[in-house]
Structure 1
Amino acid sequence: MRFISFAVTAALLGLTSATNSSTSGLLKANGVTLGDWEAAYEKASAFVAGLTTDQKLALITGSSVSSSNGNFSALEFLDGDMGLQNYFFVSAFSLSSALAMTWDRDAIYAQAKAVGSEFYNKGIQVVAGPTSQPMGRTPWGGRNVEGFGPDPYLNGLATGLSTKGYVDAGVIPGGKHFLLYEQETNRTSSGGGGGGGGGGPGGANDKTLHETYLWPFYDAVKNGLGAVMCAMTKVNGTYSCENSDLLMKTLKTELGFPGLVWPDMNGQNSAEGSALGGEDYGSSSIWSTSTMKTLLSNGTLTEARLNDMTIRNLIGYYHVNLDNGLQPAMQDQDAYVDVRGNHSKLIRENGAKSMALLKNEGTLPLKKPRVMSVFGAHAGPVMGGPNAAMNVEGSGPTYQGHLATGTGSGQASVPYVITPYVALTIRAAQDATMMRWIMNDTYSSSGGSTLIQEGTDSTAVSPSYANYATNSDVCLVFINALSGEGADRTELYNEDQDTMVNTVADNCNNTVVVVNTVGPRLLDQWIEHDNVTAVLYGSILGQESGNAIVDLLYGDVNPSGRLIHTIAKNESDYNVELCYTAQCNFTEGVYIDYRYFDAKNVTPRYPFGHGLSYTTFKYSDLAIKTPSATTRAPRGNHTVGGNSDLWDVVGTVSARITNNGTLAGAEVPQLYLGFPDAADQPVRQLRGFERVELRAGQESIVTFNLRRRDISYWDVAAQQWLVASGKYQVYVGASSRDLRLTGAFSLRVKA
């Protein structure tokens, strides 16, 4: 596209003093310093200045426009985080929840950049991602698998790094779902509109909204978020896509978000409400030319707001340099344009990094077992696949095949699936292992059939869990849990699968369970069985899933994944259930997942952050460096991503990590802070982590940087992030409950 360069005044764009208020949400009228967005803003402003009203209305409803300044082709939006949906010759990546389980910044960024490159090379401009939320307020949420987990710090870093990866690949990141979209039940206007989105008296209070659900969007906006998808639900009684407090004040002014807001499916409910509330891209049937011109003529919609909407539709395009003419043209879905490169290697590596070893009594890694039996539908391929028509009506509760992708908006276009059965067969052939299998969760051998004719020296045996488990050196049981867009989970454990595990374990003294799940999956039905000797647990790993799992089982990769949610002993241990009323109140506040378990001293089966290794690590030499005093409120410029000094490093915590075992491996030391009482915070919360790879006997000093925002709390009265005076507790450990080192520092706050 070619543009004529000329100066554009605020008056020309309609940004008069009448709109210059701190809560207007209009770019250049809310005091936000655009920084590296400035050049994109100038380009977008110049182009908009040459458009007629009809052309502006066409552009904000997804049509291409031509003007004296040049031509603009409508943006193409597409799901999703796992790769392009409904396309041939693309990759199926791990889901976001699996990626978060790596606790690896480099892995998170690398996958996002790889996903973004596939979008770019297929000619798509906007990724409907990253997906920060649903975060996992309730473990029964149907789409928790699509997000980065319930901890705002970890979720925020993953969302921010993914945003940066998409930007660096040359596409526009479209963060979702904004905001408080935490369940599928009643998620749409036809179901009452309140669903997972708060609402009613109380809803989600301001402190909860900022400290938990809004926190990750700060990271995303700071790292270049160019679009935001507003949810179908209501927030505190108002539709998300019409909520001016949420969109114009909080997102566009407080966070300084410069990009466009577009609605989730059926998220736009009215022309006036959505235009004034903060939506920038919408339906041509709702924002028809006649309707919008009527709103303009009677003064309901100002020219300033229309210009703002149009600029926001363009600014992300310029910010990621899509105007340089280098992006390939949009490809047909089945065109033979292979954009995968070597991404299969990355998918396999990240899949292995993400799986958490929860239990190991010396069984793993496997060493050329003589007889190995494999159980469960999750070990092998589904009857027909790998892809099926997209389902947004929910799914599960289990999948009768190897679960390698999600459903609905979390469904990838899978080119192939390496199942555990395939990867294990190849390994068994190499090791001369005898391998048996029953890939069914409810199998019985009522007919007494055998694999081959029985004889005196025959290897024949009636196929059953008990018979195959007996006399095996190792038994591998594969189980999964599935849910997806459109419906919430109906169970956190499955009786058929648990019966299978127990039956195998009753007959095999070396039973290994492999779990791939869409959220917390309870294990207490069999975890204490004497013969369950190891458990490998993870999310959904994409097309190389079986290879990644077998890499871990045989020790080609040392496990280093960590839980991003708490696994409870009982369903009743979780404090937030599904909400069945039209509007839901988030009365638990910030106390979800481990923050609730810690506050109420509930003992989990496995805590947030837990994961074992085939080696061991020693923690020592805690060191804390912080200022003795700081200002109570931030004083930095109001920038894209909030006050600039919220991002300043104000202190460090370091510790020495030593691999005192016999194998090379990776540890993930985690930093948790306890705040002074005045901040009204949970007992402790994550404020740092690093993944460090160490050879046997090697040690490293790991340093956690504390940003100002990491020691801040949201003050409702001041409507600002403040720092409290007092003593801060410091904990460094291997999980939220395995705290190896403790210390403290004190801060004195100045006015």
Structure 2
Amino acid sequence: MKVLSFIVAAALVAVTGASSNSSTLGLLKYDGVALGDWEPAYQKASAFVAGLTTAQKLALITGSSVDSTNGSFTALNILDGDMGLQNYFYVSAFSLSSALAMTWDRDAIYDQAKAVGSEFYNKGMQVVAGPTSQPMGRTPWGGRNVEGFGPDPYLNGQATGLTTKGYVAAGVIPGAKHFILYEQETNRTSMGGGRGSFPGSMGRRAVSSDTGSAPYSSNADDKTLHETYLWPFYDAAKNGMGAVMCAMTKVNDTRSCENSDLLLKHLKTELGFPGFVWPDTMAQNSALESAINGEDYGSSRIWSTSTMETMLSNGSLTETRLNDMVTRNLMGYYYVGLDNGLQPESEAEDAYVNVRGNHSKIIRQNGAKSMALLKNNNALPLNKPRVMSVFGAHAGPVMGGPNQGMNIDGAGPTYQGHLASGTGSAQASYPYLVTPYVSLTNKAVEDGTMMRWIMNDTYTGASSSKLIPESTDSTAVTPSYANYATNADVCLVFLNALSGEGADRTELYNDDQDTMVNTVADNCNNTVVVINTVGPRLVDQWIEHDNVTAVLYGSLLGQESGNSIIDVLYGDVNPSGRLIHTIAKNETDYNVGICYTAQCNFTEGVYLDYRYFDAHNVTPRYPFGHGLSYTTFSYSGLTIKKPSTLSKAPAGNRTVGGYADLWDNVGSVSVEVSNTGSLDGAEVPQLYLGFPASANQPVRQLRGFERIEIAAGKQEKATFELRRRDLSYWDVTAQQWLVAEGTYEVYVGASSRDLRLNGTFTVETS
């Protein structure tokens, strides 16, 4: 079996290619990485590289096409992103990754990724700048949290892995980002140089250098790095990740794209990653340091022919390392089958190449699946209300749209229109946008509902006077929150929160919007609030108001957003979305804010979100994993299949995705879930584990979930398979994933705080 080999020599870390000569193993500094199903891709890549001149190799790693004696290679097209192709006509605008994670639905995550990948493939793109595991959401004020899968490593890892797998199935290369510890926008390009206005990962072949001072450094200990931030990249590597974007910031005081610990030790050795590393915009700085420390693709200006030839001639860059860089740039291409000649050629952005298929249905379904019902005092679902009043700018369209250019530096804090996609690298290209106003109007037509609206967050019309005397019972009134709320059967108030690439959030609630909610609720005894947000949006300014009867909460849903929301409001879809972050009662309840200094120390360790709230007994408003349904569920029959004796450390071969036996199923937990209500619905039972004290772990952490459809009055079984890695912790001294011997606590429930069943199992190690 072929292996990737790693050599350490003096002050240089170099990477050799695989060799069929077993004597190569005698040169290993780190253990070999078994390629497994990547082996055919490696063989093709190696054969191609063998026929290249030095000039051709340099052209290939800087994004140029190559014609050689043994074939041709067309430069890879790299483009954002997980929400669909950016800046293209006739493509779909999908929901953001954070919305997709809120479905807690593995099939939905995979299906959307495959649909996104197919649009890339059919537009002639080879690399998706995604999946976006990080930012994870270390701080709720992070500007780009909407782009990722949330702060829980297990859930994030599941979604990252499934998205990777979906892209591979569509025939395109997954380019996961941002590697690693990139958790805020402030000072991301340079200290004191503003918040930056460069759209990261915009798909350009040329990569800019950083001409300013250095960015901030994210400093995390080894345990934190592994158990939280590196965890999802294991899933990506295991499922076919062919490229990785290194971030524009520093990690432990070394630039991410020049950091041999990150790129060579952790990514390429520990995770066994066989693909290429390319830099985010402005992330490549030094030609030599980026080349020898793990970056494989870069700027033709920084890696100019003269510069690289000089480094080769003086020995600072070895031919072996150059060959490895070229090989890695090719392996993902061969792994996903792009060499079969079947992919359509890329055409101009506005060329009529319609790749959307039936993806509008997937977008609408997944958007509805992602919405979490946080509160419901018998207000929902709606049933042909006689008079319905709609409030808030988020209910309707912007003045000109839908593809209005977003300002990525200082965007927000709210959006004066319906917010359904992100900014910067996360801005989708809408073919159209269905707003809630449009979808509600269609329902009003069907139901004979009288509908009125004020689609503004700060409307200041007269509060009570009518245009004609009240005794005439006329419909003519002066628009105001109070007037339109009075005598309505239901009042729908739409809120959003906006942030994005280039700037962090400045607030977690909004005074204007909250005043609007309270004013409406003061005059309407059935006030339903709908929120679409880029991260945690606090609700305590009005959540206990007696007249706030329901809250529907979600992320950004893409082109079918209005239809998805109204499907849930009217009960065409029974809500099943779950929170991927904790909603606190107060901003001060969160333990991590924005860092404004050059050294950003992750002193909280692994204690993010619910892991922090649980450890410090902080009561949330709505906990991680929370979400209601229009029906009810009960739990019973907890069954635990305990692991047999396990070796303390993994004993398998080092493979793509880490040691092979980390992925072995070693035990399971199952539970019976009954639908005790009158409506069909979906429940998301969640498994949390508490570890033995010797593992030094949080109180409990997610280690399993299943979204299961259950007919009214029926019962279904949910089974959570436990992999070796789910029972492992990172031991800093051993530099290994170890299994702690002792008693593990088992909790199964409907959220991190709504734990219905509990038990234990013991693990013995050898």
Determine the structure 2 residue equivalent to 1:234. 250
On the 8 A contact 1:120/1:327 being kept in 2, the answer is yes
CA shift in 2, pair 1:679/1:23, >3 Å: farther
Distance 1:561 1:16 in 2: 44
- Note the C-alpha offset of 1:459: 1.1
TM-score between both structures, scaled by the size of structure 1: 0.96
Listed as ranges, the gaps of 5+ residues in structure 1 are 1-7
2:157 aligns to what?
Answer: 156
TM-score by length of 2: 0.94
User: Helix, strand or coil for the counterpart of 1:655?
Assistant: strand
Alignment of 1:65-76 (within 5 A): 65-76=66-77
| Number of equivalences | 736
Using the aligned pairs only, state the percent identity. Answer: 77
Whole-Å Cα distance in 2 between the matches of residues 16 and 411 of structure 1? 39
Match of 1:378 among 378, 389, 394: 394
Separation of aligned partners in 1, 2:149 and 2:640 = 29
Distance in 2 between the 1:419 and 1:33 partners?
A: 50
Q: Counterparts in 2 of 1:658-677, with a 5 A limit? A: 658-677=674-693
1:593-626 Cα offsets, whole Å, 9 max, x none, are 0000000000000000000000000000100002
Q: Go from structure 1 to structure 2 and tell me whether the alpha carbon gap of 1:197 and 1:168 turns closer, same or farther (over 3 Å shift).
A: farther
Preserved contact between residue 6 and residue 15 of structure 2 (Cα < 8 Å): no
1:493-642 superposed matches below 5 A:
493-642=509-658
1:449 Cα deviation after fit: 8.5
Q: Is the 8 A contact 1:653 1:705 kept in 2?
A: yes
Stretch deviating more after TM superposition (554-563 or 182-191) = 182-191
Paired position in structure 1 for 2:122: 121
Distance (Å, rounded) in 1 between the aligned partners of 2:2 and 2:748: 53
Contact 1:516 1:539 in 2 (8 A): yes
The 3 A distance-change label for structure 1 pair 674 and 9 is closer
- State the secondary structure of the residue aligned to 1:66: strand
Q: Does 1:433 align with 2:433?
A: no
Task: Give the 3 Å change call, closer, same or farther, for CA 17–286 of structure 1 in structure 2.
Answer: closer
Match of 1:224 in 2: 240
Q: Partners of 1:21 and 1:317 in 2: how far apart?
A: 32
Partner of 1:695: 711
CA–CA separation in structure 2 for the residues paired with 1:520 and 1:76: 34
The aligned counterpart of 2:83 is 82
Match for 1:76: what amino acid?
N
Alpha-carbon contact 1:569-1:605 (below 8 Å) kept: yes
Q: Deviations over 1:138-178 (max 9, x none)?
A: 00000000000000000000000000000000000000000
Shift of residue 19, structure 1, vs aligned partner: 7.1
- The answer on whether the counterparts of 1:23 and 1:249 sit within 8 Å (CA) in structure 2 is no
Of 363, 366, 375 in structure 1, the residue corresponding to residue 382 of structure 2 is 366
1:456 corresponds to which of 472, 475, 481: 472
CA distance in 2, matches of 1:610, 1:24: 48
Residue pair 1:180, 1:197 contacting (<8 A) in 2 also: no
Counting only pairs closer than 5 Å after superposition, residues 132-147 of structure 1 correspond to structure 2 as: 132-147=133-148
Amino acid corresponding to residue 620 of structure 2 in structure 1 = P
CA distance in 2, matches of 1:9, 1:133: 31
Deviations 1:105-161 (A, max 9, x none): 000000000000000000000000000000000000000000000000000000000
Cα 1:284/1:152, change in 2 over 3 Å: same
Question: What is the alpha-carbon distance in structure 1 between the residues aligned to residue 17 and residue 97 of structure 2?
Answer: 31
Residue 678 (structure 1) shift: 0.5
The whole-number CA distance in structure 1 between the counterparts of 2:179 and 2:369 is 29
CA distance in 2, matches of 1:496, 1:509: 21
Q: What is the rounded CA distance, in whole Å, between the counterparts of 1:318 and 1:451 in structure 2?
A: 71
Contact 2:2 2:39 in 1 (8 A): no
Q: Provide the C-alpha distance between the structure 2 equivalents of 1:137 and 1:651, rounded to a whole number of angstroms.
A: 31
> For the Cα contact (< 8 Å) 1:195–1:584, is it kept in 2?
no
Deviation at 1:573, TM superposition (A): 0.1
Q: Quick check: 1:194–1:235 contact (8 Å CA) kept in 2?
A: no
Query: 2:198 aligns to what?
Result: none
2:342 equivalent in structure 1: 326
Quote how far apart the aligned CAs of 1:583 are.
2.0
Alignment of 1:273-422 (within 5 A): 273-422=289-438
User: 1:22·1:31 contact (CA, 8 Å) conserved in 2?
Assistant: no
Determine helix, strand or coil for the equivalent of 1:629: coil
Cα offsets for 1:215-262 (capped at 9, x unmatched): 000000000000000000000000000000100110000000000000
Distance in 1 of aligned mates of 2:273 and 2:6:
20
Shift in Å at residue 89 of structure 1? 0.4
Equivalent residues of 2:402, 2:430 under 8 A apart = yes
How far did residue 20 of structure 1 move? Answer: 13
Distance in 2 separating the partners of 1:505 and 1:18: 67
Give the match for residue 96 of structure 1. Answer: 97
In the aligned structure 2, how far is the partner of 1:393 from the partner of 1:280?
30
Residue aligning to 1:45: 46
Listed one character per residue, the Cα deviations across residues 35-91 of structure 1 (whole Å, up to 9, x for unaligned) are 000000000000000000000000000000111011111000000110000000000
Does residue 471 of structure 1 match 2:487? yes
Task: Go from structure 1 to structure 2 and tell me whether the alpha carbon gap of 1:452 and 1:693 turns closer, same or farther (over 3 Å shift).
Answer: farther
Shift in CA distance, 709/9, structure 1 to aligned 2, threshold 3 Å:
closer
Task: Give the letter aligned to residue 549 of structure 2.
Answer: T
Measured against aligned partners, the alpha-carbon deviations of 1:543-584 in whole angstroms (never above 9, x if no partner) come to 000000000000000000000000000000000010000120
CA deviation string 1:257-290 (max 9, x = no partner): 0000000000000100100110000000000011
Local SS of the residue matching 1:154: helix
